[in-house]
Amino acid sequence: MKKIYFLLLLLSLISCENTKKKENMSLFKINKEFFGKTNDGAIVDQYTLKNSNGMEVSIISYGGIITSWKAKDRNGDYKDIVLGFTNLSDYETSSPYFGAIIGRYGNRIREGKFSLDGVEYNLAVNNGENHLHGGLKGFDKVIWDVKEEVNDKLASLILRYNSMDMEEGYPGNLDVKVTYTLTNDDELRVRYEADTDKKTVVNLTQHSYFNLSAGLSRDILSHQITIDADSYLPVDKTLIPTGELRDVEGTPFDFRESKRVGDDIYDKDTQLTFGNGYDHCWVLNKQGEGIRIVASAYDPVSGRLLEVYSDQPGIQFYSGNFLDGTLESKDGGKYEFRSGFCLETQHYPNSPNQESFPSVTLNPGEKYETETIFRFTTR
């Protein structure tokens, strides 16, 4: 009897140990490694978030940039599906905002000017005659403070940056917090928070370029896009919205039903000529209803499906029209024309100068809070 008792006890202990090992294998992980030094000598680290399914998202402290995002195809193979670089110097000198946090103001502001309470503020003009994505040194080019949080349900990277009063011409000391959270639903949740000590404008977004085929040099024209929007914002030749909300019905901008990017992109449409393709903000439906699905992208070859959820009023769909084959890709090729697309959830471009657009003003005592979720599945 004693032998049987001790045998059962031993088996029980072995079973418990195996269970613990399985539990440990399922835990989320964050791996930290040195990524490089900036031209100013600042150290930049890379953090790779991993869930128990196999999804991996790598983020660096410079610009809060997503440098790699490995998602599975319909065969279960995990491959990188975002454009970027393997070294820091290219992000400093050559990047068209690959994977970066964008601020203080995502998108364009006409002639780099806006007024608050009768005071005119002048920003850097870095996109023709307009201001783009926060200026010469926006949030995509600063070092963020990083904190890691990991438990058995998620892995989070919390990034903080204090933007000083009049930095890049914007008023107010702005305390910014961006949290990247990877879940076991293969979701990357991006939460933006900010507060200010002086009236200012804020419009933050995430600027990853996706190619769901994982062939990062291939064009994305066969990707199927859906955008839940009945109207979009037409622009002038400098890509500043005219102020009109134009119905998508009967235009190349109708993505209410899933449609290939390449189906209408070569149509003789003045708006497509101005953008050299799609580079416009869509006016999302169901505004004010909180987080809801606003867009999706599907690659029929790999089977990867990306769904975008957000509480924002707009989304900028950009079809990689200014990629021209001069930048080296991570897979050894070049980033060719239209080899990546962006779905940037945000407020409308040039909102500080358009009273009819949803407000982007942040006052002292208020909190800027918004969230976007990127969810991957296959079919």
What tokens does 125 get? 């003009």
Yes or no: say if 148 and 335 are a contact pair by the CB < 8 Å rule: no
What tokens does 235 get? 């622009």
Task: Quote the CA–CA distance of 74 and 367 in Å, as a whole number.
Answer: 41
DSSP letter for 112, please: G
Q: Which residues pair with 149 in a beta bridge?
A: 156
Task: Quote the CA–CA distance of 244 and 70 in Å, as a whole number.
Answer: 39
344 has catalytic annotation: yes
Q: What is the CA radius of gyration of the chain?
A: 22
**DSSP notation for 267-305:** S--HHHHHHTS-EEEEEESSTTS-SEEEEEEE-TTT-EE
Dihedral angle over CA of 316, 373, 45, 90, nearest 10: -20
What tokens does 84 get? 């970027």
State the first-to-last Cα distance of the chain, in angstroms, to the nearest integer. Answer: 56
**Strand, helix or coil at 189?**
strand
Q: Which amino acid is at 83?
A: L
Cα diameter, the chain = 91
Q: Which of 56, 168, 187, 344 is catalytic?
A: 344
Yes or no: say if 187 and 159 are a contact pair by the CB < 8 Å rule: no
- CB-based burial of residue 302 (10 Å sphere; 0-12 exposed, 13-18 middle, 19+ buried)? buried
Q: Which of 207, 223, 280, 347 is catalytic?
A: 207
Residues with a catalytic annotation lie at 207, 344
